[in-house]
Amino acid sequence: MLSSDNSNQERQSLHGNWSSRLAFIMAVTGSAVGLGNIWKFPYMAGQNGGGAFVLVYLLFVFLIGMPVMMSEILIGRRGRRNPVATMALLGEEEGGSKHWKWLGALGVITAMLILSYYSVIAGWTLTYIPKAISGQFTGADATLIADLFDDFVSNPAAVISAHTFFMFLNFFVISRGVKGLEVAVKFLMPALLFLLFVLLYYSLTSGSFSEGVSFMFTPNFAALSWDGVLTAMGLACFTLSIGMGAIMAYGAYLPQETSITNAAVSVVVADTGIAVLSGLVIFPLVFANGLNPGEGPDLVFKTLPLVFGQMQAGVFLATIFFVLLAFAALTSALGLMEPAVAWMVESTNYNRKKSSAIIASLIWFFGLGTALSDNLLSEFKFFQGTIYENVDFITSNIMLPMSAVFITIFAAWVMSKNSSSEELDGHGVVYKIWQLLARYFAPIAILVIFLQAIGWI
């Protein structure tokens, strides 16, 4: 798999290269598509009034997400090392300072914090598999489905067991290396997409499709606060997996002749498409069943089982759906854990197994805060709300956008034009647009939104 072609650079990744452009796109899409698209996007759009939030989210995906993703890939490919080492190397080469490595380190920590709650939600998904198999959704009405969920999350032992099991799965796969998973992703992603289309058919015939569509696409800016704008920006970074060096790590294995722009466009379109699709499935169901779109994190778990319960082959399809969602969560979770494990293996004398065990235990421990957010510690609120809401706010709305600012500054200001144009092949119009967005638009927009939301402007 190691590419022998290294046209303008001798640098090679230790771990070889992706076998094709498609392999890279599948891998990055596998990391990008996860709970963010199917669980987080709909509930956040619902909480923030729909249309205006969705519009702002889409703008951020293309105007901020895209240039940041291109910057991450180009930095990764230029350095061909893990994010911390790449930032140290390029920082010295291009900017005269090794301290850029702290940007890589910040990403590793952000990813661990995100995984701490991600694993709890993935645990919810896992427990919905046996619920689906045993036909608990069949014929149930909205109240019954809501009770099913509320009974589950109010039971700390059940939530913690599921979280523990999911972290154990992560440990099991990652301690062996993630190779085999790439193959699985190639089958699972299309299968998930297919199932979403089946669900779309049901929501089309739910009787409230147009109401759902108009909720999602009619912008009502009165319903969107600056906090909502900040949330949309955090979500754009989150679903695209940018702002934590994860994409940098993937870029390190990208063959030199592959177009970074084309790859980034494909990933962004696929990821956004799946988010919008899941909104189109969920909102019509919300309105058809008289539910509240602002329900919050439980939204998906209180709508989808309802429609499965009314379908012909509901038991079968619900089972497949939650299995696929759990897999999508697993492929993303591995992407969130790998940077920390890779860092530990490279900077201590612990082997992969021991490093994975230590990192997984740490993340598991942090995750207890989120696992207890809906039960024992539900009254324990500060700043943004529950523990989950705080961890999510700090990581998605502060750490990811801040890292994104520094990543674009590094790629577009610190790196020489020679280096960046070599990676983005050329001086054409695409390079100019990237440069404008990465130099000015992205960092300034992020800072302004950030300062607005915390009330400094």
Given the rule CB under 6 A, which residues bind ligand TRP?
31-32, 34-37, 111, 114, 238-239, 241, 244, 246, 332, 335-336
Distance (Å, whole) CA 369 – CA 439 = 38
Q: How far is the CB of 180 from ligand TRP (least distance, A)?
A: 17
Distance, in Å, from the CA atom of 318 to the CA atom of 137, rounded to the nearest integer, reads 9
Whose Cβ is closer to ligand TRP: residue 121's or residue 315's? 121
- Please, what is the Cα angle at 363 between 359 and 369, to 5 degrees? 160
Nearest distance from C-beta of residue 411 to ligand TRP, angstroms: 18
Least CB distance from residue 162 to ligand TRP, whole Å? 17
- Who contacts 433 (Cβ-Cβ below 8 Å, separation ≥6)? none
Look at residues 3, 44, 48, 430 and name the one whose alpha carbon lies nearest to residue 256.
3
Q: How far apart are the two ends of the chain, measured CA to CA in Å?
A: 52
Length of the chain in terms of residues written: 457
Q: Which two tokens stand for residue 196?
A: 């979403």
To ligand TRP, the closest distance from the beta carbon of 31 in angstroms equals 4
If the CB atoms of residues 146 and 341 are measured against ligand TRP, the closer one turns out to be: 341
Cβ at position 85, least distance to ligand TRP in Å? 18
User: CA 82, CA 108: separation in Å to the nearest integer?
Assistant: 10
Question: Residue 111 CB, nearest distance to ligand TRP (Å)?
Answer: 6
* DSSP alpha helix (H) spans, 293-428: 299-310, 314-347, 352-371, 387-392, 400-409, 417-423
Coil/strand/helix, residue 219:
coil
Residue 180, judged by CB atoms within 10 A of its CB (0-12, 13-18, 19+), counts as exposed
CB closer to ligand TRP, 123 vs 335: 335
Report the alpha-carbon distance of residue 236 to residue 36 in Å, rounded: 9
State the angle between helix axes of 179-204 and 260-288 in degrees (0 to 180), rounded to the nearest 10.
40
Q: How far is the CB of 336 from ligand TRP (least distance, A)?
A: 5
Q: Give the nearer residue to ligand TRP in terms of CB position, either 89 or 111.
A: 111
Q: How far apart are CA 91 and CA 98, in angstroms?
A: 5
Q: Closer to ligand TRP by CB, 238 or 450: give it.
A: 238
Q: In the complex with ligand TRP, which residue's Cβ is closer, 72 or 423?
A: 72
Q: Which is nearer to ligand TRP, 38 or 88 (CB)?
A: 38
CB of 214 to ligand TRP, least distance (A): 26
What is residue 257's DSSP assignment? Answer: T
For residue 436, which phi and psi values (nearest 5 degrees)?
A: -60, -45
In terms of CB distance, is 110 or 435 closer to ligand TRP? 110
**CB-based closest residue to ligand TRP:** 36
